[in-house]
Amino acid sequence: MQNVTRYSKIVFNPNDKNKLSRETNIEFSTGHNDAQDDEFYANVMSDLALRGISGEDLPESEEEQVEVLRKCLLLQYKIQRCRNAL
């Protein structure tokens, strides 16, 4: 888990003021700039591979890939909040 957190490029930060324009935030809004979109999807693929999701397990569409990573990041966020509450 430490390596995944250390090497991840995508984050879930609901308080980020620029989350829709920052290609390292899972809430990034695509469709405005092809280069930024490509960087965002490359970051998503990289993070999914870090989590052991690649090859046959990888969803076909980019939107589904983002959703899988979003679920992973939300779970990680909830676990961290619970840990901090103890």
pLDDT tens string 71-80: 999 998 898 8
**How many whole angstroms separate alpha carbon 48 and alpha carbon 66?**
9
30 in Cβ contact with 37 (< 8 Å): yes
pTM: 0.85
13 in Cβ contact with 51 (< 8 Å): no
Q: Which domain covers residue 32, as residue numbers?
A: 2-85
**Which band of pLDDT confidence, cut at 50, 70 and 90, is reported for residue 5?**
confident
Does the pLDDT value for residue 83 go beyond 90? no
pLDDT value, residue 1: 58
**How many whole angstroms separate alpha carbon 48 and alpha carbon 56?**
12
Domain count, the chain: 1
Does the pLDDT value for residue 2 go beyond 70? no
pLDDT tens string 17-56: 999 999 999 999 999 999 999 999 999 999 999 999 888 8
Does the pLDDT value for residue 9 go beyond 80? yes
**Which band of pLDDT confidence, cut at 50, 70 and 90, is reported for residue 61?**
very high
Tell me, what amino acid is at 84? N
